[in-house]
Structure 1
Amino acid sequence: MSSEQTHVIVGAGMAGAKAAETLRAEGFEGRIVLVGAEQERPYDRPPLSKGYLLGDQDRDSVYLHSLNWYGDNHVELLTGRRVSRLDRAAHEVELAGGERIGYAKLLLATGSSPRRLKVDGNDLDGVHYLRRLEQSDDLRNAFAHGGRVVVVGAGWIGLETAAAARRAGCEVTVVEPLAQPLQNALGPEMGAVFAEAHRRQGVDLRLGVGVTGFKGAGKVGAVATEAGDIPADIVVVGVGARPNTELAEGAGLTVDNGVHVDAALRTEDPDVFAAGDIANVPNSRYGQRIRVEHWQHAVDSGPAAAKAMLGQDVAYDQLPYFFTDQYDIGMEFTGWFARGGYDRVVTRGDVDGLSFYAFWLAGDEVVAGMHLNQWDDGIGPVTELIRARKAVDPARLADPGSPLG
């Protein structure tokens, strides 16, 4: 089959797998090649720090499709294969080892990788990073043996793994250089709410403290910080992620905090698209480009890119969305604000009881919002408020007796 009938997807995560699924669902009859660097077939990543890590989900539940699905749908799944080069002029990708595959349309869905701390001791046994299924297996086994867990970084991965370690009975310390957990994601006001939730569960939070290294003879025994050493049997590092943009950069595509695409998720090369963590997309609600590293973006952008690859009229303009589960907290967040890009936070409900809404306002408009354990109405009303761009009365917004909107 010639490259004229071949669509290649580089990256076999959520965005790439959903794109392949959508190509078939939309009637594409040509060749689909889905290339993944991991040995595993495509799987869902949120459970790696949530249900799967906790032991509430089995391994089969994390896979996106059955093993037979790829053959049944004539999707060539190449696992454990890395694309080393993109040759735009030849319309080919080159795999490590030299094999070349021609394409008519190409989707880059290469995801992101954990940022590694540049400190001594990073390679000691017992120092864990979490991105892949086997890494979640390793952490789950480590937590089952108990001991002293030190989590470096109080972002989403850090707090979710801290919650899993506490449930497993481990002694947990979280070290974070900022003044509150989740400060970059939620600001200090709501970061403080999550801080208190973890303290209630017995987590020792060391805030405003930087890590300077890991100590041990072959295996980690302590985390060195600016405030002294913390004994550790297990270390989890969750200090953010970086987009895997090397292929795009090497091919001369525009890369600046991800791969620049238009509203159809198309790069400046009309035959090359990008989706998922690496895609830096213009957002009409906020009037600027936004790159999102969360599950819902992968779920939505992969199919949108696939439709655009087929020539359909696509205008991808989703609001950022993410969720977390920690202890008895279930949370959904939608919207976006830059650091310092809001004037106030308005809450509605029982903050101390962890059952409330929060709204971030810039001027008199809601730019982002979340709920904790408000499942009767969920996140839908928040989404409507953000999209409406109407002036709101903060007092009515805070009043549970007043309708939202």
Structure 2
Amino acid sequence: MVVIAGGGFAGLEAAIQIKTLRPACAVVLISPGPNLVYKPWLIYVPAGRRRFAETCLPLAPMAARYGFQLIEDRVDRIDLDAHQVRLAKGQTIDYSQLLLATGANADRSRIPGSDEFAFFPCQPDDAEKFALEIQHRKPQRICVAVGWGRRGPGLEFAGWLARRRKPLGRPDMEVVIVDGDGLLADYYGAEAMAAIRPAIRRAGATLSTERGLDAVTDSGAVVNGKHTAFDLVAIVAPLCGVEVGLPADMVDEAGFVHVDHSFATTRPGVFAFGDAAALPSGVATGKTMMSIRQRVAHLASNLLADMDGAPLKPLEASVPPHQSMSNIGGRAILLSDNRVIGKGRLPIFRRWLYDQAYFRLRT
């Protein structure tokens, strides 16, 4: 039996692919909730452009359609020696192969005060809470701190918040982007920043000249050693792995699971995929939705090969150009290795078509 821990995008796509390749294989998908949250659309929730419910895809119909078993529960502990997964409600499940697709959590302990006073809108629950707080509190100034490996989504949250101030009933609301780890310009480079800065201004947000988020307080944020007043503070990243009781040698310093070039971990029969996996350097794949869909067949084939005692196939070591797109308030900046290869609305329209096609495919 294949057990998949995690009902997010990586876990769902893996379950579907395994059942597609081998319909007779028993697959159990363990999800903490009944829905897959379509995280690319979370940027619209605080801005009031989409309701949180519109980002959710029910998992039960897909389980029935593709023939895998769905269990709504949280993984509490994994007994690697006994090949068992122990769930929060007390159930124990045996596995022959285990896929860790538990995703990533906001690291709420990294920045002092953030757990108590900040929102982490990349987390589904916090995205909805942040939206409700904007409606009820009617803030004048919002800080959106970006950085720590996922700068694009932070710029997107801020851009859409600023763009949607009038529909939110807050036309004078100030949205300030803070370079949380102080590496925004170093990460993107001069050419990309020359496109990002005017896109931020056009959306109506402000990029702070102060860099480095030191702490969050009940009245604002400490940036570069100085306290600045904000009504609300949102932090997009940093991330950490989900705690499921794995040995220390299986995870990196942030809690992500070490895998090799075939997505296998250091333990027999155990694989990791998606945000949960700490990929080796030089692997030609990322953690975006498109990359996951491109690589899920490779993962599923290796997991089934492991079940059969056959050799695993490694991913190629060459690294293709890294492409990314930031949707800053309705205007895209398309980058390839941080060189600008496209701007405007057309890339967003193409992404909208992709999203709609995925929803039609899975509903």
Query: TM range, normalised to the smaller chain?
Result: 0.7 to 0.9
1:253 aligns with 2:250: yes
2:157 matched residue in structure 1:
161
SS of 1:325's equivalent in the other structure is: strand
**For residues 280 and 228 of structure 1, do their structure 2 counterparts lie closer, same or farther at Cα, with a shift above 3 Å needed?**
closer
201, 217, 234: which one pairs with 1:215?
A: 217
Q: List alignment gaps of at least 5 residues for structure 2.
A: 166-172, 351-363
Q: Distance in 1 between matches of 2:108 and 2:185?
A: 18
**For residues 19 and 119 of structure 1, do their structure 2 counterparts lie closer, same or farther at Cα, with a shift above 3 Å needed?**
closer
**For residues 375 and 198 of structure 1, do their structure 2 counterparts lie closer, same or farther at Cα, with a shift above 3 Å needed?**
closer
Root-mean-square deviation (CA, aligned residues, Å) is: 3.3
61, 65, 69: which one pairs with 1:68?
A: 61
Which structure has greater helix proportion? Answer: 2
Q: CA deviation at 1:129?
A: 0.8
270, 274, 289: which one pairs with 1:276?
A: 274
**Identity across matched positions, percent:** 22
**For residues 45 and 177 of structure 1, do their structure 2 counterparts lie closer, same or farther at Cα, with a shift above 3 Å needed?**
closer
172, 191, 194: which one pairs with 2:193?
A: 191
2:206 matched residue in structure 1:
204
2:293 matched residue in structure 1:
299
Q: CA deviation at 1:61?
A: 4.4
Give the counterpart letter for 1:116 in structure 2: R
SS of 1:129's equivalent in the other structure is: coil
1:94 matched residue in structure 2:
86
1:353 matched residue in structure 2:
none
1:141 matched residue in structure 2:
132
SS of 2:184's equivalent in the other structure is: coil
- The structure with the larger Rg is 1
**For residues 187 and 116 of structure 1, do their structure 2 counterparts lie closer, same or farther at Cα, with a shift above 3 Å needed?**
farther
1:7–1:31 contact (8 Å) kept in structure 2: yes
Q: CA deviation at 1:174?
A: 1.7
1:45 aligns with 2:39: yes
1:325 matched residue in structure 2:
327
Q: Distance in 1 between matches of 2:71 and 2:64?
A: 12
1:128 matched residue in structure 2:
119
2:6 matched residue in structure 1:
11
2:192–2:335 contact (8 Å) kept in structure 1: no
**For residues 182 and 137 of structure 1, do their structure 2 counterparts lie closer, same or farther at Cα, with a shift above 3 Å needed?**
farther
2:175 matched residue in structure 1:
172
Q: Distance in 2 between matches of 1:247 and 1:291?
A: 27
1:179–1:188 contact (8 Å) kept in structure 2: no
**For residues 178 and 27 of structure 1, do their structure 2 counterparts lie closer, same or farther at Cα, with a shift above 3 Å needed?**
closer
SS of 1:310's equivalent in the other structure is: helix
Bigger Cα displacement from structure 2, 88-97 vs 291-300 = 291-300
1:27 matched residue in structure 2:
22
Q: Distance in 1 between matches of 2:329 and 2:128?
A: 20
Deviations 1:33-69 (A, max 9, x none): 11123x24222211112x4444444555433456422
Give the counterpart letter for 1:294 in structure 2: T
Deviations 1:178-217 (A, max 9, x none): 6663643x2344234312321344323223433333333x
**For residues 87 and 240 of structure 1, do their structure 2 counterparts lie closer, same or farther at Cα, with a shift above 3 Å needed?**
same
2:257–2:277 contact (8 Å) kept in structure 1: yes
TM-score normalized by structure 2?
Answer: 0.77
Q: CA deviation at 1:97?
A: 4.5
1:10–1:35 contact (8 Å) kept in structure 2: yes
**For residues 48 and 183 of structure 1, do their structure 2 counterparts lie closer, same or farther at Cα, with a shift above 3 Å needed?**
farther
SS of 1:191's equivalent in the other structure is: helix
Q: Distance in 2 between matches of 1:44 and 1:159?
A: 18
Q: Distance in 1 between matches of 2:293 and 2:191?
A: 30
Give the counterpart letter for 2:304 in structure 1: L
Give the counterpart letter for 1:86 in structure 2: I
